[in-house]
């Protein structure tokens, strides 16, 4: 057990909790704040949304021990909040609830949206609220209610924005919008790493956002110790480039059109995503854009994605800025959400960078190719194991580090 001290709805709380207890259970079972609902316990539905240190967060995937010292507001703590009062009125007048199970999380998310953004079209409100699911009302009333309050935004006292965030934030763009992500990437562009190793990823560079076309987008950069002309020429050989990505294989290329496949080993399953896409290379700016879609018939899963990369000569090597956007539907869709997906794509990018450097240097991709010319299937089970183990270690480091 661990002792935690925190503030809940303005009241100081001191409690003993098991390290495994998630915040939603702690709030409901120990503090009897049952307005925080639990739906999926996977961070998908948004029923458990609460406010932690001024930012909305999923309490079902936030450990209570992480909240030691935090200031938490549950739905019971918003009674005197003018923006929330206005939202309650609007939800009532627009019939934006039926059973009400989703409503606490829904209006906490709506309050956060109105705090951050105004003047959105109904379709944009739906997009922003897509991290909260309602199983019975339908979304027309919810969208209308939020639109009604958003129209009065200038006259309402808006809660301040906070920087500190503990739990995973629900909803697209909740933490970082596409605009400020690209600004951050632009700010970062051209800055050589302090002590660039031969191949490097920017530390913590995998910024995640949700783009307007519904793709979860990650940005990374790698630095390879070769001049930009050589790297650009190498990247024109798509077959070799595909072999650098674990599990990927180029099947056919006809001008800008490409066909390929990606095999992912998931325990006893090895789904094979086969699909097609298009590549556009801009020789003048040494940048390229690849878009495509693929399907695995075995798991009835579909993927679509976009890769954009640009090269920059740093004088000592070439920096490659990479933006990967992806969306999965079907049985494998759980891999398209949250920190695990971000970490997984970060590791994939790292493997790609190492293989790329090996190939450019003439040593061949480190991952090795299979007999059919493609690289071995991506062992996502092994990768996920490493990812999850890495996250468990960081959580325990946070818990026990604070005690020392
Ligand atoms: Fe569904 Fe937490 S219970 S997101
Ligand atoms: Fe019933 Fe949304 S009102 S789940």
Q: How would residue 341 be classed by pLDDT, with cut points 50, 70 and 90?
A: low
Indicate whether 234 and 125 sit together in one domain: no
In a domain, 200, yes or no: no
In a domain, 115, yes or no: yes
Region for residue 315 given its phi and psi (left: phi exceeds 0; alpha: psi -120 to 50; beta: otherwise) = left
Domain, as residue range, for 218 = 207-394
Does 368 have pLDDT greater than 60? no
What lies within 8 Å, CB to CB, of 400 at 6+ separation is none
Query: Cα(89) to centroid of ligand 2, in Å?
Result: 17
Backbone angles phi, psi at 313, to 5 degrees: -75, 125
Domain boundary among 190, 223, 242: 190
CATH number at residue 57: 3.10.20.30
Q: How many domains does the chain have?
A: 2
DSSP letter (8 states) at residue 136: S
Indicate whether 238 and 159 sit together in one domain: no
What would the mean pLDDT of 227-244 be, rounded to a whole number?
A: 87
Indicate whether 164 and 250 sit together in one domain: no
- Please report the atom of ligand 1 found closest to the CA of residue 49: 2
Exposure string for 350-370, b = 16+ CB within 10 A, e = fewer: ebbbbbbbbbbeeeebebeee
Cβ atoms of 349 and 201 within 8 Å: the answer is: yes
Q: How would residue 378 be classed by pLDDT, with cut points 50, 70 and 90?
A: low
Query: Cα(33) to centroid of ligand 2, in Å?
Result: 19
Query: Cα(37) to centroid of ligand 2, in Å?
Result: 11
Indicate whether 227 and 134 sit together in one domain: no
Indicate whether 131 and 256 sit together in one domain: no
Indicate whether 287 and 217 sit together in one domain: yes
CA distance 274 to 256: 17
What is the percentage of the chain residues whose pLDDT exceeds 90? 37
Quote the mean pLDDT of the chain: 77
Give 104-122 pLDDT, tens digit per residue. 999 999 999 999 889 999 9
Measured from the Cβ of residue 137, the count of other Cβ atoms closer than 10 Å reads 20
In a domain, 201, yes or no: no
Residue 76, Cα to own-chain centre: how many angstroms? 29
Q: Which residues line ligand 1 (CB under 6 A)?
A: 38-41, 43-48, 58, 60
Cβ atoms of 217 and 323 within 8 Å: the answer is: yes
CATH number at residue 286: 3.30.530.20
- pLDDT for residue 379: 58
Kindly state the tokens that stand for 54. Answer: 């001024």
Domain boundary among 159, 190, 221: 190
Cβ atoms of 27 and 74 within 8 Å: the answer is: yes
Indicate whether 211 and 338 sit together in one domain: yes
Kindly state the tokens that stand for 33. Answer: 């704040």
In a domain, 302, yes or no: yes
Indicate whether 92 and 224 sit together in one domain: no
Ligand nearest to the CA of 22: 1
- pLDDT for residue 268: 60
Indicate whether 11 and 131 sit together in one domain: yes
Angle at 181 between CA 398 and CA 278, to 5 degrees: 115
For a mutational test of ligand 2's pocket, the pick from 103, 107, 108, 142, i.e. the residue with the most ligand atoms closer than 8 A to its C-beta, is 103
Does 335 have pLDDT greater than 80? no
The answer to whether the CB of 98 is under 6 A from ligand 2 is yes
Indicate whether 232 and 343 sit together in one domain: yes
The answer to whether the CB of 138 is under 6 A from ligand 2 is no
Indicate whether 134 and 255 sit together in one domain: no
Ligand nearest to the CA of 168: 1
The answer to whether the CB of 135 is under 6 A from ligand 2 is yes
Lowest mean pLDDT among 152-156, 229-233, 306-310, 336-340: 336-340
Kindly state the tokens that stand for 353. Answer: 């960078």
In a domain, 113, yes or no: yes
Ligand nearest to the CA of 101: 2
Backbone angles phi, psi at 378, to 5 degrees: -65, 120
Domain boundary among 190, 222, 251: 190
Q: Alpha helix locations (H) across 99-139?
A: 103-116, 122-128
- Please report the atom of ligand 2 found closest to the CA of residue 136: 1
Indicate whether 183 and 263 sit together in one domain: no
Q: How would residue 179 be classed by pLDDT, with cut points 50, 70 and 90?
A: very low
Cβ atoms of 71 and 6 within 8 Å: the answer is: yes
- Please report the atom of ligand 2 found closest to the CA of residue 106: 2
- pLDDT for residue 14: 93
Q: How would residue 334 be classed by pLDDT, with cut points 50, 70 and 90?
A: low
Cβ atoms of 247 and 262 within 8 Å: the answer is: yes
In a domain, 337, yes or no: yes
Ligand 2 atom 2: residue of nearest CA: 134
Ligand 2 atom 1: residue of nearest CA: 99
In a domain, 56, yes or no: yes
CA distance 136 to 171: 19
In a domain, 272, yes or no: yes
Question: Tokens 């580090």, residue?
Answer: 401
Cβ atoms of 62 and 23 within 8 Å: the answer is: yes
């Amino acid at each position: 057990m661990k002792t935690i001290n925190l503030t809940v709805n303005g009241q100081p709380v001191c409690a003993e909790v098991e390290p495994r207890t998630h915040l939603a259970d702690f709030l409901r079972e120990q503090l009897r704040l049952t307005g925080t609902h639990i739906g999926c316990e996977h961070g998908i539905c948004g029923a458990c949304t609460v406010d932690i240190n001024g930012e909305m967060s999923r309490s079902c995937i936030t450990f209570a021990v992480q909240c030691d010292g935090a200031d938490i507001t549950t739905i019971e703590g918003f009674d005197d909040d003018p923006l929330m009062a206005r939202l309650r009125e609007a939800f009532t007048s627009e019939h934006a609830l039926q059973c009400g199970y989703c409503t606490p999380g829904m209006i906490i998310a709506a309050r956060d949206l109105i705090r951050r953004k105004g003047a959105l079209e109904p379709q944009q409100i739906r997009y922003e609220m897509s991290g909260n699911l309602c199983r019975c009302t339908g979304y027309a009333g919810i969208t209308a209610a939020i639109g009604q309050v958003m129209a009065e935004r200038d006259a309402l006292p808006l809660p301040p924005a906070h920087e500190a965030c503990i739990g995973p934030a629900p909803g697209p763009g909740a933490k970082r919008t596409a605009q400020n992500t690209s600004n951050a990437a632009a700010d970062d562009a051209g800055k050589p790493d302090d002590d660039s190793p031969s191949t490097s990823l920017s530390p913590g560079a995998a910024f995640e956002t949700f783009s307007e076309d519904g793709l979860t987008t990650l940005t990374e950069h790698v630095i390879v110790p070769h001049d930009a002309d050589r790297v650009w020429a190498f990247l024109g050989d798509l077959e070799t480039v595909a072999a650098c990505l674990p599990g990927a294989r180029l099947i056919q290329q006809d001008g800008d059109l490409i066909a390929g496949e990606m095999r992912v080993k998931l325990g006893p399953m090895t789904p094979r995503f086969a699909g097609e896409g298009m590549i556009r290379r801009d020789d003048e700016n040494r940048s390229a854009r690849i878009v495509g879609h693929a399907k695995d018939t075995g798991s009835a899963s579909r993927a679509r994605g976009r890769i954009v990369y640009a090269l920059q000569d740093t004088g000592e090597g070439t920096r490659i800025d990479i933006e990967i956007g992806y969306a999965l539907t079907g049985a494998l869709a759980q891999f398209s959400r949250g920190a695990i997906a971000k970490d997984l794509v970060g590791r994939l990018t790292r493997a790609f960078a190492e293989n790329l450097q090996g190939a450019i240097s003439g040593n061949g991709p480190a991952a090795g190719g299979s007999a059919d010319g493609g690289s071995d299937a991506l062992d996502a089970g092994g990768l996920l194991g490493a990812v999850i183990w890495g996250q468990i270690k960081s959580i325990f480091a946070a818990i026990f580090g604070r005690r020392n």
